[in-house]
Amino acid sequence: MELIESIPIIGPFLLAAVPFILCLSIVVAIHELGHLMVGRWCGIRAEVFSIGFGRVLYSRRDKHGTVWQVAALPLGGFVKFLGDMDPSSSRRASDEDLAPEDRPHAFHNAALWKRTLTVLAGPVANFLLSILIFFMLAFILPKGSDEPVIGALDAEIQGVSEFREGDRVLSVNGEATAEFGDVLTAMIRTNGDQATALVERDGRETNVSFRYVTSPRVTSVSSDGAAIAAGMLPGDMILSVNGTEIASTRHLILMGVDLEVGKDITVQVDRDGEIRDFTFAPRFVDRPHPETGEIMPLPTMGVALGEVHLLPLEERRSLGEAAVNGVENVWRIISDSLNYIEQMLFKGATTDHLSGPIGIAKHSANAASGGWLSFVHFIAFISTAIGLMNLFPIPVLDGGHLVFYAAEAVRGRPANAHIVRYGTVAGLSLLLLLMVFVTFNNDLGLGAWLAQN
């Protein structure tokens, strides 16, 4: 990435464009491949499989007669089935224009259930890609055990504590610790003060004294969080929030309790000696209050904070656990997205978290800068988001076609061609207007500029 960034003039552009094009190409290719493979299984002939639009840069024809091509504008793709007159399948050719032997293989002549499965296959392929990525990451990477047992200690805490690797922590300052998360929470609450823990060591219980304080350094960022959207990266040291200096992770957690829903915050960080400011609205999720334990909406920036000085035992997930993890991650992205849409439509939430092509390019560059794990995780997130978006009941999207097919199933005949055509134009216009709004209001910051001026 540093090599790309060093290229004169175009380096910064390529730094954002290359990860974006790579991510989008993978996600679009899988989506369209889902349409193609299920369409073939249903006996529908595909004439063109394209990644990108516009001038064709490369193409070849396979044994099935499908032309596989890469086009110059890498902002999407399509499968053109026999009988389609455009990539969106909104218009179809007349059977008179097709050879008699080709007519049974035209998309519009396929049975309703075959057309439905072919259209549905694109979003499903995106979900399966995401599940596969999350499954592989969960299976390959070890996870921390929930057991309150210390697996490793770094040199910093070893100098100010009596902990040893293998200690089972029973309590911290009298607070029982049933899981490793309880251990970390209780130790963070001490905020650097002298404290005592009861541990089980070699079959015997003993008291150990320690000091534990974590600096507010960003150790990881969520690919769908507010912080990465604003440009924050792992390694950033948080100096202040809204002008208030932050001394520790605990200090930041307590400060977050008083933040208002929907209000922007300004976070100042030190990034390798360079001071940077980021302004964004944190999301609010239901979680325990840091002092009372009461479940309530609290802000989250979408970052993991603190240089953790002790780690749990590591353990591998089974194939079954990894598979469940993959499904749960995809479902979480879907449910969070639907909840956010509900908040926007009915509860006055802002549109600040929506992103257009420029915003997605920025996010992909940020994810790529965090390493291959971060970038692969981002691909899974985008794949789920595109699969979900395509299921929305908007003409020109897969969900719009499914609505027309549902109407056909009820009426017993296809929807009027004029209704399909005008609906497709309206749906395309709506999507273009939304993209323009999001690009100028969020990606380019016009909304914030107008608000300040």
Q: How many Cα atoms sit within 13 Å of 26 on the Cβ side? A: 19
Terminal C-alpha separation, the chain: 37
Of the listed 2, 5, 32, 274, which one is catalytic?
32
Report the C-alpha gap between 252 and 246 in whole angstroms.
Answer: 6
Report the C-alpha gap between 104 and 93 in whole angstroms.
Answer: 13
User: Encoding tokens for residue 234?
Assistant: 């792992």
Q: In this structure, are residues 197 and 164 in contact, taking their beta carbons and an 8 Å threshold?
A: no
Note if 245 is an active site residue.
no
Catalytic residues: 32
